[in-house]
Chains A and B, each alone.
Chain A
Amino acid sequence: MDPQIWLDERGRRCPLPIIALNRAAMEHPAGTVIALLSDDPAATFDVPAWCRLKNATLLSESAPPDGGAGSVFHVQVTAAT
């Protein structure tokens, strides 16, 4: 599923990437797929934990397409998020 929203949060430390993810999730309807790029070492733990707490679905965590540092998280907003 291709993401509709891209959030480039590289260079920003916690809690900023999670705040951006939450804001985007609140502004978009259920079903929306958000791609979050982050090189914050806490994101590896906090994106899955945020998805669990907010009933969002973590679709995947993968290397950034440009081969840079960090990860791309694909998160799907659900009705409960």
Chain B
Amino acid sequence: MGSNWQPPPGLLDGVGGQPASATAAAAQGAAAALAWADPRSLHHAGRRSDGLLAAARRSIADSVSAAAGTTIHADEVYFTPSALAAQTIALAGCPGPVVMSAVETAALLDLGDLRDHSQVIGVDAAGRVDVGAFGQAAAGKAIAALQLANSEVGTCQPIEHVAAASPGLPILMDATGGLGRIQLPTGWAMLTAGAGGWAGPAGVAILVVRRGGRWGSPPASERGLLGGFADIPGAVGAATALAELSAEQDAQHDQAFANIELLRAGIASKITDVEVLGDGVWRLPHILTFSVLYVSGEALVLELDKRGFAVASGSACVAEEARPSHVLAAMGAYTGGNIRISLPLGCTTETVEGFLDALPDAVAAVRADN
């Protein structure tokens, strides 16, 4: 295990990117030599691009089908340059107010806020949305936006319960971070995900639109391309990377889940004045966030970097960050001294144990400066 992906030692910020697997990189490189023409062109090179694009759509549809336990057709899959572009286009197909959780991405919350009568529903201390309040707010809304799971804290959202509580309302599910890692629930109408979440290219995302929704195909779609997307080699790389992960989803899930469990217990026992956040069980397998009192999150990130570990932070202890993470704030969590760990694919238990060994010294070094 871990042979497909070779993340650099000490990388614990997989959400921020990791090197592509050799297989995905090779597929993308090969496609770059073949799929350079506009897939709408009728000449030979154009048809070759179109064929590779169609194959990438089929491959993504197969991977999403396996995760969803139901058949997703190739013509329900679209490529876009970013998850945000996918969400923007999905929302454009459903004009009217949006109901969304308080822990959606900041960009999605901004888009929803542009519409009159949109509503934001709060979350509990673990970051899970209030199903009853969500259902009550569904009346009169055009669309619901609810993530599969939160990429900062890992907590899964009760998509199926929300779908049952708001019948007839299409759910736009942000599956970034979760697709390829966990099985998909039922009840969603549209799905968006950035390929970076499965070690695919950063500039590729997908939108999946289930048939039988309010619109047949998203606005401004051409041959599965949306929002000006033109990177067919990238689409091939993304499809290959997702297929590769899907084939190993269970093994990667179990290894990451166990490693995060190790970290949750280790951090709570090795550090004083620390709050380990998010749901410990109903979560993404590879994500953990915690807040350490009396340290600056940014100082702790730099101290860990000195010791060879790359992690992220949701704190705002420096002037450049105007506000701390809206996700931590919505949960009522302590936002200072925050560290987010996201295991890259192929992360070993040795890396995790090394981090647990280094963390107490790093915290002590920052606290000594107080």
Contact = CB atoms under 8 A, between A and B. Distances in A.
A43 to B, nearest CB: 9
Contacts of A45: 324, 328-329, 332-335
B50 to A, nearest CB: 50
B323 A41 contact: yes
Interface stretch (B36-44, B137-145, B293-301): B293-301
Interface in A1-55: 13-15, 18-19, 22, 41-42, 45-46, 48-50, 52-53
Interface residues of B, number: 23
B3 interface: no
Interface in B306-336: 315-319, 322-324, 328-329, 332-336
B275 interface: yes
Nearest to B296: A15
A49 B317 contact: no
Contact of B332 (A19, A41, A42, A49): A49
B136 interface: no
B316 A18 contact: no
B323 A14 contact: no
Contacts of A14: 296, 315-317, 324, 335-336
A26 B328 CA distance: 26
Given A15-B336, A41-B324, A50 B317 contact: no
A15 B323 contact: no
Nearest to B330: A45
Select the residue from B324, B329, B336, B370 with max chain A CB neighbours within 10 A: B336
Given A18-B336, A45-B324, A13 B370 contact: no
B334 to A, nearest CB: 4
Majority-rule SS of B interface residues = loop
B323 A46 contact: no
Contacts of A52: 332
Given A14-B316, A42-B336, A53 B293 contact: yes
A46 B275 contact: no
A49 B334 contact: yes
A22 B294 contact: yes
Contacts of A15: 293-296, 317, 336-337, 370
B318 A13 contact: yes
Nearest to B334: A49
Interface in B263-286: 273, 275
A45 B275 CA distance: 14
Contacts of A46: 324, 334-336
Contacts of A18: 293-294, 336
B319 A13 contact: yes
21 contacts: A13-B296, A13-B317, A14-B324, A14-B335, A15-B317, A15-B337, A18-B336, A19-B370, A41-B316, A42-B317, A42-B335, A45-B324, A45-B328, A45-B329, A45-B335, A46-B324, A46-B336, A49-B275, A49-B332, A53-B273, A53-B334
Instruction: Across the A-B interface, give the 5 residue pairs with the lowest CB-CB distance, nearest first.
Output: A49-B334, A14-B336, A14-B317, A15-B336, A45-B329
Given A13-B317, A13-B318, A49-B333, 8 more contacts: A13-B319, A15-B294, A41-B322, A42-B315, A45-B329, A45-B333, A53-B275, A53-B293
